[in-house]
Amino acid sequence: MKHTPGPWKVKELSKRDIAVTSDTYYAPIPHICKLYCIKNQEEMEANASLIAAAPDLLEACKDQLALICRLCILLNPQHADIKNCTCGDTESFRNAIAKAEGKL
């Protein structure tokens, strides 16, 4: 599964509607998703901000996982396979990445 490339940003459509958009998203509807405020405007805005940060968070997780594994290999040469590195807390990164990529 391939997602719309970032960066994503929050765009207020009205007092009760917020969209998450991307300059690279070209579809009949010009946004990635739309949030509607039913009860709590502040919660809707926080959810929109979290969604808009998703591409950056995914890349940060991938970068940190790679860094942990490179350090693991430097400290433990017998772990010469980055893809199977289990040093440190790599499971949480792997799970977050898999979830973001629709593999969980």
What is the reported pLDDT for 79? Answer: 66
Backbone angles phi and psi of 51, in degrees to 5: -65, -45
pLDDT in tens, 37-58: 878 889 999 999 999 999 999 9
Q: What is the pTM of this model?
A: 0.83
Closest CA to 68 of 92, 90, 95: 90
In this structure, which amino acid lies at residue 40? N
What are 39's two structure tokens?
Answer: 């009860």
pLDDT in tens, 8-44: 999 998 888 999 998 876 666 678 899 988 788 899 9
Three-state DSSP state, 91: helix
